[in-house]
Homo-oligomer: A and B are copies of this chain.
Amino acid sequence: MSRVKCPKCNKAERILKSGIVRNKQRFYCKDCNYHFIEASPKRKNNIVLKSNNDQISLQDIAAAAGVSTTTVSRALKDRTDISEKTKKFIKELANSMNYQPNMLAQSLVSRTTHTLGVIIPSLETTIFSTMLSGIQEEASRYGYRVIICTSNENQETEIANILGLMNNMIDGLLICHTIQTSTFEHIRIHMGKRIPIAQFYRVAIDLPITQILADDEVGAEEVTEYLIQKGCTRIAMLLGSKSLSITQKRFKGYQNILKKHGIKIDGKLLAYVDFSLEQVEKALDKWLKITPKIDAIISISDRSAVQIIRQLKKKKIKIPNQIRVFGFGNEFVGEIVEPQLSTFDTRIRVIGEEASRLLIEQIISGSREITSKLIPGKLVIRDSA
């Protein structure tokens, strides 16, 4: 009935239509049990010849092999319900045709993308890029990709980013809040969904989702205890925004130890800043005028601690003799500044790794159990204290 000839036996008698595939009529030759595609009007020949621009699809392989796409899919997925012979043949064919599966199609069906979304305040601050590095590496160990969005410490951007990611592109979301984030409705909205969310480093403690953070309280306790052992009693503390867990917990640790030693907290010794050069400088200037004189400064960040060291040096104040300086984070600069900075190593990279790991395990297991993981850190004593 059809004028189409079988490319194998060249006969037209026993050709059957076998469905339309990708706009092309498929045929089947009963004689030689061969499937093929009609030469498209635009093509000069009927050889399956894809331009290099196009990805090879399952259907191309199927057509070339003369089997159904199902069979090809099964072969490539190492399913059991297929003969070893066909499997081997198709695998080799796919290989020679340089087949790469279309992840979009796979993901659309499977509803998984093997991709994590990460929202981070900035990439130019060492601690964040280090955490991201940990996240990325751990994820890739599990075979997951990472999409990053920076919020630039802006809550609006954080919200927009979350919306932009929760569109089936990711299997899980990791958030480190901006310094100004104080409401969490934008997180709550997404909490019931299929996609698990976890917070890391800067977390909203009472948000019922998994969180991974430094053991800030213990860290501050150790730092404060160390300074008191060295004879300090007038310990100033440079803190961040009051709503942040790192501020709260580090202050708590400081407070615990002062109490333990019967030292009264002096509000004048506390400064809440946004870590800008100006605010840090202003805080320092204020401290230096206080009597009794301060004999130590704990900075919530290494970066600011380094700034403080540089300014104290400019003012010819001896470190650690007159003032001991302590940082948090164990960033590389602390090693370079002179005197070298004593700091509490929060093991930032591990926080990233753990966040990644916990989230992926939630994704894989499907469990939505809330865990709150504290990463223990350790004192790094150098010259500044």
Contact = CB atoms under 8 A, between A and B. Distances in A.
Contact of A104 (B113, B137, B333): B113
Given A129-B123, A333-B336, A336-B336, A169 B136 contact: no
A193 B55 CA distance: 8
Interface string A190-205: 0011100000000000
Interface of A: 52-55, 100-105, 107-108, 113, 115, 122-124, 126, 129-130, 132-133, 136-137, 140, 145-150, 152, 163-169, 192-194, 306, 310, 332-333, 336-338, 349
Contacts of A165: 145
19 contacts: A52-B192, A52-B193, A53-B193, A101-B167, A103-B167, A115-B147, A115-B169, A123-B129, A123-B132, A123-B133, A124-B133, A136-B148, A145-B147, A145-B164, A145-B165, A145-B169, A332-B333, A333-B336, A338-B338
B136 A150 contact: yes
A20 to B, nearest CB: 18
Contacts of A147: 115, 145-148
Contacts of A102: 108, 167-168
Q: Is the interface of A mostly helix, strand, loop or mixed?
A: mixed
Contacts of A137: 150, 152
Contact of A103 (B124, B129, B149, B168): B168
